[in-house]
Amino acid sequence: MAHPGGTAGLPADLAVGDDGVPRCRWGDSPPEYRSYHDREWGRPVGEEARVLEKLCLEGFQAGLSWLTILRKRPAFRKAFASFDPASLAAFGDQDLERLLSDPGIVRHRGKIEAALTNARATLALWEEGLSLGGLLWAYEPPRARPAPGSFSEVPSSTAESKALSAELRRRGFRFVGPTTAYAAMQALGVVNDHLAGCRFRASAEKERSRFKPPTRAARAPGPGRGS
């Protein structure tokens, strides 16, 4: 018997959508999930603002659905200066009050304060000649991991995410527990957890094979950045 939305013999955790493409079932619908799954999730990223954004948004997601965060992401980017670390680190009390009254984002004081703290922790890395992207990618596991065949084979955290979480916390980052750290690793392509049989696993892996991970050394911030 065919699985709903799929074809006969298709694993239960895959779905074939109305476009005829097999993908991880969670990414089939609604449209925001499909776009995120197909174009972003598992594709390698090392740029500082993108990494900071992902860590912060994963923190905001705690207790909520990721769909809620995706739908609010444009408002988050507008409110949080596109997660530019230097700009966000400079936010003061007036900015905090503005964010707490912004209906477009998740108005949780602790999570908002954590995002500002994380931006300042990123600048502290820069002061040491390090980079947030480089720190994240330093915990990439061996690439020989087999493709998961079902969601039950995808962990919520790993030894690497636990070590990354501990290092981030040591350096002053907040809302970065092992599960949050692993979700960021998945989204930013540090691991590829698209299921075996998902059309997008191969394209994500191809991008990963071509990607040159950032080193832990960072470029000196340009004028007006990190100063």
Active-site residue, from 26, 32, 40, 66: 66
Active-site annotation holds for 58: yes
The yes-or-no answer on residue 139 being catalytic is: no
Q: Which of 26, 36, 40, 167 is catalytic?
A: 36
Residue 9 region by backbone torsions, left for phi larger than 0, else alpha for psi between -120 and 50, else beta: left
Catalytic residue among 58, 137, 139, 205: 58
Asked whether 12 and 150 are in contact (CB, 8 A), the reply is yes
Looking at 132-187, list the stretches that DSSP marks H as alpha helix, in order from N- to C-terminal side.
132-137, 159-170, 178-187
Within 10 angstroms of residue 97's Cβ, the number of other Cβ atoms is 10
User: Using an 8 Å Cβ cutoff, are 181 and 171 in contact?
Assistant: no
**Strand-strand pairing, 14-16 and 22-24:** antiparallel
CB-based contacts of 223, cutoff 8 Å, min separation 6: none
Is residue 66 flagged as an active site residue?
Answer: yes
- Positions marked catalytic: 36, 58, 66
